[in-house]
Amino acid sequence: GDRSYRRGLVVFPEGQAPHFGTLWQLFCYFDQEESGHLKKEDFERLLRGRLQAPDDGLLESSWWDAGGESNGSVNFARFAPWAEAFPLGLPVGLDLTGESRPCRCQVHSNAEPDFFCNCTDYTSIEDSILCQCGHKASMHRSEASQGSFANLVQQAAWASEGLVEVTEEDTLQSLQEMLDDTHKATDNWTRDRGCSIHGVNGTGCSLACAFKNQVAVPKGYTLRKVYRNQNRSVWARYCIARSFIAKECARPPAAERREVAPETELLDSGGLAPLDEACNEWRLFHGTTHEAARDICSANFRPTLAGSGATWKAAGDERGAPLYGLGVYFAEKSTKADEYAAPFLDAEWGLEVNAMLVVRCVGGRTNAVTTNDIEPESLRRTIFDGPNHSVLGDRVSSLRKPYREVVIYDRDQCFPEFLLIYERYY
């Protein structure tokens, strides 16, 4: 369980091999670069270490089944359910936010009675990884960590599955206040809002034309309907991603706390764990079409679609060039997310309305970018091959642009929590 217990850092005498008590320990041992992602060669080494002479066909099919081929790597949120189904026969080994972590230290001896530590929760000694009971942090694991991925799916106490309409007045009022508090009243137009003559990406429309003929920005938004996304599978993957990123953020030096969208922090989570500041968990906005919003709630985001929506595109191009590369883009202001929301007719209200998602995101160790010196592929490498988990595109502090954005490159770090149906007013 120690950070240095990784392939290439430890040496075993001939005839001995590493021992793993959990899937998390197994994953970390072969994640030599501490990136949170296994490349194909690391994944194959892991399988060869656990199985007796696996053939190339099994290695290849396992890589595909764990999502490696489609994503280019395998994170722990995808490794855990694959390993359980395979099966590799180990508990998950991750703690959920807020759970107590009793000490699991046991000593068995032929000469003396067996020892079982009775510590009920990890309490650290200052400047040490040891608990006050005298045993290290990795010996303290919650009940969830001792179970399976399937057990994690049941942690959300929902009576039904899928999109469920919210009727609680307190929650509806809180979400309306979130829209109000995150609305930007001035300096709020960007080219993605569009041109009043040519629309967004209209033929013959230049940036100068769009800037001169700006589409009016709504003065605010009125909620008409809200759905809570009760998707246990997507939630479980998110919980695992949040847990392993929280562990990585706790390593010294601890991750810097970034204040993003503070207006959304206090929303009632409906029985789910509150936002975890230690791993920069935020609640953000994502505007899209009504149909796409429902698809996202069902199967989560697809980062490869970045730039295909209402983003500014060069003439004749089907896809724009996302500023920070292919990822999922989130806004801390409802006004920014609304730029990408496509109107549709709501038959019940007889009104033209829009769709916006409220999404929980794990920012982790975020890479704050404050200049125009942006190399998208380099940013992605810091996520998949380096220490970062997200990008905070801060175009406000130095460049004096209207908005900041958060970019997540691994969809398991996102959980679409609410689908908002709202009306613009001018």
Distances (CA, A) of 382 to 78, 301, 390, 402: 20, 21, 9, 26
CB 107 within 8 A of CB 79: no
Rounded Cα gap, residues 144 and 271, in angstroms:
17
Nearest CA to 163 among 425, 419, 363, 345? 419
Residues in CB range of 157: below 8 A, 6 or more apart: 271
Interior angle at CA 250, CA 373 and CA 397, nearest 5 = 30
Nearest CA to 421 among 168, 179, 170? 179
Nearest CA to 201 among 311, 307, 306? 311
Strand ranges inside 231-326, DSSP E: 281-288
Strand ranges inside 137-288, DSSP E: 162-165, 220-230, 281-288
Question: Residue 349 has which token pair?
Answer: 């209200």
Q: What's the confidence (pLDDT) of residue 313?
A: 47
Q: What's the confidence (pLDDT) of residue 52?
A: 84
Nearest CA to 105 among 126, 84, 129, 136? 136
Tokens 């850092």 map to which residue?
9
Nearest CA to 84 among 60, 66, 58? 66
Rounded Cα gap, residues 312 and 209, in angstroms:
13
H or E element in which residue 361 lies:
strand 351-362
Residues in CB range of 206: below 8 A, 6 or more apart: none
Q: What's the confidence (pLDDT) of residue 15?
A: 81
Rounded Cα gap, residues 9 and 100, in angstroms:
31
Sign of CA dihedral 192, 194, 198, 199: positive
DSSP at 309:
S
Q: What's the confidence (pLDDT) of residue 98?
A: 64
CB 383 within 8 A of CB 248: no
Rounded Cα gap, residues 335 and 128, in angstroms:
45
Rounded Cα gap, residues 286 and 334, in angstroms:
8
Q: What's the confidence (pLDDT) of residue 24?
A: 87
Torsion of CA 117, 120, 121, 124, to 10 degrees: -50
Q: Per-residue confidence of the chain (426 residues) as pLDDT tens digits? A: 567 788 888 888 888 888 888 898 899 999 988 888 999 999 999 999 888 888 999 999 999 999 999 888 999 989 988 998 888 888 888 776 667 888 888 776 566 777 889 999 988 887 766 889 988 776 777 776 676 666 655 567 788 899 999 999 999 999 999 999 999 999 999 989 999 999 887 888 888 999 999 999 999 999 999 999 999 889 988 988 898 898 889 888 889 999 999 999 888 777 777 899 999 999 999 999 999 999 999 999 987 665 555 554 455 555 556 788 889 999 999 999 999 999 999 888 889 999 999 999 999 999 999 999 889 888 888 888 888 999 999 999 999 999 999 999 999 999 999 999 999 999
Residues in CB range of 132: below 8 A, 6 or more apart: 119, 123, 124, 125
Residues in CB range of 426: below 8 A, 6 or more apart: 216, 218, 219
SS3 228: strand
Sign of CA dihedral 345, 347, 353, 355: negative
Alpha helices (H) along 124-251: 149-153, 169-181, 207-212, 232-250
Torsion of CA 161, 76, 292, 350, to 10 degrees: 40
Rounded Cα gap, residues 212 and 194, in angstroms:
11
